[in-house]
Amino acid sequence: MRHSSWISCCSDLRNMSKAPDSILRRLKVRRQKQRTILAMRWRCAKGGKEFKELDTFYRAIRPYLCVAQLFGIMPLSNVLSRDPQDVKFRLRSVGMCFTGLFLLLGGIKTVMQANILFRTGLNAKNMMNLVFLIVGIVNWLNFTGFARSWSKLILPWSSLDILMQFAPYAPSKHSLRSKLRLIGCVVGSLAVVDHLLYYASGYYSYHMHIFHCHTNHSRLSFGSYLEKEFSETFELLPYNMFSVCYGFWLNAAFTFLWNFMDIFIVLTSIGLAQRFRQFADRVLALQGRQVPDTLWYDIRRDHIRLCELASLVDESMSNIVLMSCANNVYVICNQALAIFTKLRHPINYVYFWYSLLFLLARTSLVFMSASKIHDASLLPLRTLYLVPSTHWTEEVQRFVSQLTSEFVGLSGYRLFYLTRKSLFGMMATLVTYELMLLQMDAKSHKAGLPDLCA
């Protein structure tokens, strides 16, 4: 008996010694995996070879930042670098020189345009050009202020992007880069058509006015139209090829800035919404499973980081969002006023209707893209509301309170939020305005068209 008990004791000791060995081996393997992942993330964060292959917001937005530099927007240095840590705002930089140049030339153009309008008389129609220029100047300043906070924004964003490239987060079906590229190409192409139709409509109206109202038909050329279109430029510069190209260039810069303002909001919204969607997919995958509090804590901590990023983006972009919405509403109303005051030529109807529909679609895209941030932020509630009462812990309650206590999304200084409800409210206001215009237009039917030569 003693011998058998001694043998069993020895076997127990051997088993006990093997158990710690197996635990140590598993821990060693786990530590190796953790070190590998940490090394990968470190190399990605340092902009190594792997970073350029990751689906990060910085990688997706970088081509747009490069194009914006050509028009003095977002004056950032080292924008060609693949490492977001290198891209910073510097007061003494080439980008800031471009911004200063555009502000100077744009300011001169705005003052000259205001001088011309005050001499000829302001009204609802010709005032749009002045508002267009003033909004452009304000937006240059807004994007310069946004560029100053770029480093504080893009570094935590890139950190979250890298975190969500690895398990337990699943990759998105469509890459962020492909989404942003598609939106930029489609909206950019439509904006180019809108810009070309503007010149076509303006030149045809000028051509018909000169043909019917003036005996000197030598003024029918496109160059003569440009002399009238860029009249504020030719008050300072002689009429030659350089001044014509300068007028085209500066007008294109203001138009690009106007479109870039909306496109940038859309691209930023898509980037944020995709990360919230990835987070929601991780939580939805836990539906019907028993989840320990430690995992709920890790998930809640990642959600806090996402909400902090969204709050930082909202704080940095509030002035851009406010200016975009206010300007779009004004231009939509102005275009509608032009349409319902009896345009003369078919090309005028083509331009104004195209411009109005394009602007309505672009404004709707801004609101719909931004509303997806809030929609995605609430998706985890579907899983949390299905947690049985036996597993409803304090950590789950904290997570639910965290999801429902604060609005996540973009706003204009918290005066309004970019949601579907706000879009429908704005559309209702515009419809009311259109009905009022139709009533005014119906009363003027008897008067007929105004004199072409008036």
Residue 453 has pLDDT above 70, yes or no: no
Task: Please check whether residue 265 is in contact with residue 370, taking contact to mean a CB–CB distance below 8 angstroms.
Answer: yes
Query: Of the segments 216-230, 261-275, 323-337, which one has the largest average pLDDT value?
Result: 261-275
Residue 81 has pLDDT above 90, yes or no: no
Task: Please check whether residue 293 is in contact with residue 393, taking contact to mean a CB–CB distance below 8 angstroms.
Answer: yes
Report how far residue 83's alpha carbon sits from residue 158's, in angstroms, rounded to the nearest whole number.
Answer: 10
What is the reported pLDDT for 389? 86
Sketch the domain layout of the chain as residue ranges. Answer: 51-443
Which residues contact residue 114 at a Cβ distance below 8 angstroms, ignoring those fewer than 6 apart? 130
Nearest 5°: phi and psi at 417?
A: -115, 150
pLDDT in tens, 85-104: 889 998 888 889 999 999 99
Residue 439 has pLDDT above 80, yes or no: no
pLDDT in tens, 132-144: 999 999 999 999 9
| Local confidence band at 1 (pLDDT 50, 70, 90 cut-offs) | very low
Q: Between 10 and 254, where is the model more confident?
A: 254
Q: Which among 299, 363, 297, 290 is positioned nearest to 333, based on CA atoms?
A: 363
Q: Which among 300, 266, 280 is positioned nearest to 383, based on CA atoms?
A: 280
Residue 56 has pLDDT above 80, yes or no: yes
Q: Average pLDDT for residues 270-278, to the nearest whole number?
A: 95
Residue 162 has pLDDT above 70, yes or no: yes
Task: Please check whether residue 370 is in contact with residue 411, taking contact to mean a CB–CB distance below 8 angstroms.
Answer: no
Task: Please check whether residue 267 is in contact with residue 184, taking contact to mean a CB–CB distance below 8 angstroms.
Answer: yes
| 46, 61, 238, 253, 395 from 246: Cα distances, Å | 42, 29, 12, 10, 62
Which residues contact residue 217 at a Cβ distance below 8 angstroms, ignoring those fewer than 6 apart? 210, 211
Report how far residue 310's alpha carbon sits from residue 315's, in angstroms, rounded to the nearest whole number.
Answer: 9
| Local confidence band at 49 (pLDDT 50, 70, 90 cut-offs) | very low
Report how far residue 205's alpha carbon sits from residue 352's, in angstroms, rounded to the nearest whole number.
Answer: 13
Flag the least confident range among 49-63, 203-217, 340-354.
Answer: 203-217
Residue 447 has pLDDT above 60, yes or no: no
Residue 451 has pLDDT above 80, yes or no: no
How many angstroms separate the first and last alpha carbons of the chain?
A: 125
Flag the least confident range among 68-72, 110-114, 218-222, 325-329.
Answer: 218-222
Largest distance between two CA atoms of the chain: 131
Report how far residue 106's alpha carbon sits from residue 164's, in angstroms, rounded to the nearest whole number.
Answer: 42
| Local confidence band at 51 (pLDDT 50, 70, 90 cut-offs) | low
The answer to whether the bond into 168 is cis (omega within 30° of 0) is yes
| Local confidence band at 233 (pLDDT 50, 70, 90 cut-offs) | confident
Residue 226 has pLDDT above 70, yes or no: yes
Q: Average pLDDT for residues 294-302, to the nearest whole number?
A: 92
Residue 344 has pLDDT above 90, yes or no: no
Residue 428 has pLDDT above 60, yes or no: yes
Residue 408 has pLDDT above 70, yes or no: yes
Task: Please check whether residue 379 is in contact with residue 284, taking contact to mean a CB–CB distance below 8 angstroms.
Answer: yes
| Local confidence band at 26 (pLDDT 50, 70, 90 cut-offs) | low
Query: What is residue 451's three-state secondary structure?
Result: coil
Q: 77 - beta bridge partners?
A: 88
Report how far residue 52's alpha carbon sits from residue 85's, in angstroms, rounded to the nearest whole number.
Answer: 14
Q: Average pLDDT for residues 186-193, to the nearest whole number?
A: 95
Q: Between 445 and 218, where is the model more confident?
A: 218
Task: Please check whether residue 332 is in contact with residue 183, taking contact to mean a CB–CB distance below 8 angstroms.
Answer: no
| pTM score, whole prediction | 0.85
